[in-house]
Amino acid sequence: MADGNQPSLMVRKFIAASKNPPKLTEKRRAFRKQFYFFYGTLMDPATLARVLQRDRAPDVRPATTVGPRLKLWGEYPARPKGSGNEVIRGVACMIESQEEADRLAAYETEMYAVKGCPIYFDDGEDSGGLTFYWVGDESLLREGTFDLKDWLLRG
């Protein structure tokens, strides 16, 4: 205790916090299988299989979505926040479990978060789905394009 038999400021803050725990503003939704749209390294089925910890390469479907122009974070593509009408080419894959969704989030790091997006499959079908978008500092991004073939050759 600090002088005068009063707990220190830090102890008082801990006591106050325990009496008034923060309210969770975002509840975790129940998982449901859905398509995820990938526009970077996860377009590669072998990489995606390793991340998802599947025994074989998952089925991926060529697709597009729309949004702001992709930028680069180092050598990796990033979908910035905001809106836009750029056509973004990639692939979509059905994610089967919360564990798979968690593995994807870990792979993408805390610099990305999941957001809903329209997915337009090359065969004419469309669906709602999820994709990862950039939530890091925008100043870390630069103009540029990502080429999966080049990335695979360097790997």
Cα Dmax for the chain: 75
What pTM, to 2 d.p., does this model score?
A: 0.80
Instruction: Please tell me the distance from the alpha carbon of residue 150 to that of residue 118, in angstroms, as a whole number.
Output: 27
Q: What separation, in Å, do the N-terminal and C-terminal C-alpha atoms of the chain show?
A: 57
**Domains contained in the chain, CATH given:** 33-154 (3.10.490.10)
Q: What is the pLDDT of residues 74-113, one digit of tens each?
A: 999 999 988 889 999 999 999 999 999 999 999 999 999 9
Which pLDDT tens digit goes with each residue over 133-144?
A: 999 999 999 999
pLDDT tens digits, 35-72: 999 999 999 999 999 999 999 999 999 999 999 999 99
**Cβ atoms < 10 Å from Cβ of 40:** 22
Structure tokens at 70: 């992709």
